Amino acid sequence: MNIPADLKYSKEHEWIKGSVEKDATVTIGITDYAQSSLGDIVYVQLPKVGEKVSEGKVCGEVESTKSVSEIYSPVSGTVTEINSELEKKPEALNQDPYGSGWIAKIKLESTPNSLLDANGYQGLIA
Amino acid sequence: MTMKKTPVFEWHSSNSAKIADFGGWQMPIEYPSGVLAEHAAVRNFVGLFDVSHLGKISIKGSGALPFLNTQLTNDLNKLADGFAQYNLICNTDGGAIDDLIAYKNSEADFLLIPNAANCAKVFEVLKHSAVTKSEFSNLEIKNEHETYCVFAVQGPASQKVVESLGPIPKLEFTQFTKFKSSQYGQFGELIICRTGYTGEFGYEILVGWNQGLSLWQFLVEQIKNQGGLVCGLGARDTLRTEMGYPLHGHELSEQISPLSAGLKWAVSLKKSEFLGSNALLRESEQGSYKKLVGLKILDRGIARNQMPVFDEKSNLIGQVTSGTFSPTLKTAIALALIDAKAAIDLEKVMIEVRGKMVGAQIVKLPFVPAKVRSGSN
């Protein structure tokens, strides 16, 4: 399982890239472990630009041939950008979950309080 | 309850298959290749499936044919020796206890392939029927669930794969042959049948339980030579859903008759009495209450089993029985059982998908044309 050391992680299998200070903008996505458990992803429902999201609350949905799974926002803030390419190419979530499979960029309202580092996340899925 | 495993289980595990319970058996859902690639391999090249969890029941002895004709829905008198036939076994209300394939060796020798989860039930029903009818009490009915492994080789290149075993006679659709390879004697006697559950040209091969793993390993090499993939039961489900083939527990159950599920062609109401025939005759005369329809989802999202279906005036008219993403059509498709009266002239329905109404078009089944007879390359 690929768990990049420079990212932070939520217990619901999302990753966060960037500084998590208040007012900073982070990129979020789902982890390699999440995409692998879901199987081939065929639909993605993204949050909307301008939408307020809250840490631990649902902000979207990914659906595979097998099942549907909610995306929980790992941070609180405002969505500034979404990866709308995913609507046409949901397979990017399987093929490149930490790169072209990114989900959204979020401007932080506060510093999230329950993120894991790569080691902590490794321990969670072990 | 302990989960059962086929002789190929360790192979599935060591090839990183995701494993799930199927009727009490631990079976592979998909390999790292994924459902979409495995599905495409079957449609374009060839796929290999371990379906050894399927049930096997043998019925031997004089009177086997007339006995089975009192138990199963299709007319076994129309079945030639060396051919297989799709059948159902019903309860007295006409509900389907199971659907199964009947292989006829001779009038006195049949092999049935029911679903894994229903094998024990079907076996009990047949045993009970035989002992309560004196003329059939001498029949030898055996539950042979772990006598044979079953491997499905499906797709346009399946003939090349099967012929790698040796000179197999040309088989018509639903015809089978017993074959012992002179080159690969270690596999023992095989039963090779031109049947399947994918809609593609293909074969199902029965091999002795203990010879299963070595035949499997041989077939894995052969399908790789043809650009094929080993497939899990996830792809088997998307393939059969594209064909509109019923799955017991979804489109069929003890509460759903074969007539409602669109299987009239497998129910012979002209032959003499059989299990459920009175109820099925009545249903045939009065018309079914329910009808199985194919749905193409017009919005995003997948309609899944048990989601409610409404007409355009928001009247509840039925529910989804199976739903998936069609890898061939690149859109979500579903099978639904709806009120037969409401179905007349109906073109569109609404499905409630997790609180949201999603539109769907009623379409003719199958969703994808079947190539079972002529799809070999």
C-alpha dist (Å) from residue B235 to B38, B154, B238, B240: 6, 12, 5, 8
Note whether B35 contacts A40, CB cutoff 8 Å. yes
Residue B253 included in any domain: no
Note whether A66 contacts B35, CB cutoff 8 Å. yes
pLDDT, mean of residues B158-169:
96
How many CB atoms lie under 10 A from the CB of residue B75?
Answer: 18
How many CB atoms lie under 10 A from the CB of residue B5?
Answer: 16
Say yes or no: B132 and B50 in one domain. Answer: no
Nearest-angstrom CA–CA distance, B179 and A33: 45
Distant-in-sequence, close-in-space partners of B127: CB < 8 Å, separation ≥ 6: B141
The domain spanning residue B334 has which CATH number?
Answer: 2.40.30.110
Predicted pLDDT of residue B253: 98
- Which residues of chain A make contact with B234, given a CB cutoff of 8 A? 39, 65-66
Nearest-angstrom CA–CA distance, B226 and B163: 12
Dihedral sign from CA coordinates of B298, B302, B304, B307? negative
Note whether B18 contacts A39, CB cutoff 8 Å. yes
Note whether A40 contacts B302, CB cutoff 8 Å. no
pLDDT, mean of residues A38-43:
95
Residue A122 included in any domain: no
Residue A83 included in any domain: yes
Say yes or no: B69 and B125 in one domain. Answer: yes
B210-229 pLDDT, tens per residue?
A: 999 999 999 999 999 999 99
Q: Select the residue of A45, A65, A94 nearest B325 (Cβ to Cβ).
A: A65
Nearest to A1 by CA among A35, A47, A52: A35
Largest interatomic CA distance in chain A: 38
Predicted pLDDT of residue B222: 98
Residue A124 included in any domain: no
Residue B3 included in any domain: no
- The confidence band for B1, taking pLDDT boundaries of 50, 70 and 90, is low
pLDDT, mean of residues A110-124:
94
**Tokens 């193409």 found at:** B296
Nearest-angstrom CA–CA distance, B231 and B153: 10
A68-113 pLDDT, tens per residue?
A: 999 999 999 999 999 999 999 999 999 999 999 999 999 999 999 8
Q: H helices of B52-141, where?
A: 64-69, 119-131
Predicted pLDDT of residue B377: 75
Nearest-angstrom CA–CA distance, A4 and B360: 42
- For helices B233-243 and B35-44, the axis angle rounded to 10 degrees is 60
Contact B114, B86 (CB under 8 A): no
Inform me whether the pLDDT recorded for B151 exceeds 90: yes
Give the domain-ending residue among B119, B143, B167.
B143
The domain spanning residue A34 has which CATH number?
Answer: 2.40.50.100
Residue A15 included in any domain: yes
Q: Which residue of B has its CA nearest to A42?
A: B325
DSSP secondary structure of A68-119: EEEEEPSS-EEEEEE-THHHH-TTHHHH-TTTTT--EEEEESS--SS-B-HH
Residue B267 included in any domain: no
- Which residues of chain B make contact with A92, given a CB cutoff of 8 A? none
Predicted pLDDT of residue B300: 86
A residues 38-97 lying closer than 8 A (beta carbon) to B: 39-40, 42-43, 45, 63, 65-66, 68, 94
Predicted pLDDT of residue B180: 95
Say yes or no: B297 and B343 in one domain. Answer: yes
Say yes or no: B37 and B78 in one domain. Answer: no
Nearest-angstrom CA–CA distance, B195 and B172: 9
Note whether A65 contacts B300, CB cutoff 8 Å. no
Q: Select the residue of B30, B37, B302 nearest A63 (Cβ to Cβ).
A: B302
> How many degrees, rounded to 5, is the angle at CA A101 between CA B360 and CA B356?
25
Q: Select the residue of A39, A45, A63 nearest B34 (Cβ to Cβ).
A: A39
Nearest-angstrom CA–CA distance, B353 and A52: 24
Say yes or no: B160 and B43 in one domain. Answer: yes
| Average of per-residue pLDDT values in chain A | 96
DSSP secondary structure of A23-78: T-EEEEEE-HHHHHHH-SEEEEEPPPTT-EE-TTSEEEEEEESS-EEEEEPSS-EE
B66-95 pLDDT, tens per residue?
A: 999 999 999 999 999 999 999 999 999 999
Q: Select the residue of A39, A43, A94 nearest B301 (Cβ to Cβ).
A: A43
Note whether B29 contacts A42, CB cutoff 8 Å. no
Note whether A65 contacts B354, CB cutoff 8 Å. no
Q: Which two tokens stand for residue B158?
A: 């399946």
Q: Which residue of A has its CA nearest to B324?
A: A65
Say yes or no: B169 and B187 in one domain. Answer: yes
How many CB atoms lie under 10 A from the CB of residue B344?
Answer: 8
Give the domain-ending residue among B99, B119, B143.
B143
Residue A78 included in any domain: yes
Q: Which two tokens stand for residue B71?
A: 């138990």
Distant-in-sequence, close-in-space partners of A6: CB < 8 Å, separation ≥ 6: A17, A118
Residue A34 included in any domain: yes
Nearest-angstrom CA–CA distance, B85 and A3: 52
Interface mutation target, options B19, B233, B238, B300, chain A, most CBs of A under 10 Å: B300
Domain span including residue B76: 57-143
- The confidence band for B7, taking pLDDT boundaries of 50, 70 and 90, is very high
Q: Does B238 touch chain A (CB under 8 A)?
A: yes
Q: Does B241 touch chain A (CB under 8 A)?
A: no
- Which residues of chain B make contact with A45, given a CB cutoff of 8 A? 300-301
Q: Does B19 touch chain A (CB under 8 A)?
A: no
ipTM above 0.90, yes or no: no
Q: Select the residue of A65, A68, A94 nearest B238 (Cβ to Cβ).
A: A65
Residue A118 included in any domain: no
Predicted pLDDT of residue B2: 77
Residue A89 included in any domain: yes
Residue B27 included in any domain: yes
Note whether B302 contacts A42, CB cutoff 8 Å. yes
The domain spanning residue B205 has which CATH number?
Answer: 3.30.1360.120
Residue B370 included in any domain: no
Note whether B35 contacts A63, CB cutoff 8 Å. no
Domain span including residue A49: 8-108
Q: How close does chain A come to B36, measured CA to CA in Å?
A: 7
C-alpha dist (Å) from residue B104 to B20, B174, B323: 32, 11, 34
B329-373 pLDDT, tens per residue?
A: 999 999 999 999 999 999 999 999 989 999 999 999 999 999 999
- Which residues of chain B make contact with A68, given a CB cutoff of 8 A? 301-302, 304, 354
Q: How close does chain B come to A2, measured CA to CA in Å?
A: 15
Overall number of domains in chain B: 3
Say yes or no: B131 and B203 in one domain. Answer: no
Q: B152 in helix, strand or coil?
A: strand
Give the domain-ending residue among B83, B114, B143.
B143
Bridge partners for A104 per DSSP: A28, A82
pLDDT, mean of residues B150-171:
97
Q: B265 in helix, strand or coil?
A: helix
- Which residues of chain B make contact with A65, given a CB cutoff of 8 A? 35-36, 234, 238, 324-325, 327
| Average of per-residue pLDDT values in chain B | 96
- The confidence band for B374, taking pLDDT boundaries of 50, 70 and 90, is confident
The domain spanning residue B84 has which CATH number?
Answer: 3.30.70.1400
Note whether A94 contacts B354, CB cutoff 8 Å. no
Nearest-angstrom CA–CA distance, B32 and B346: 41
Overall number of domains in chain A: 1
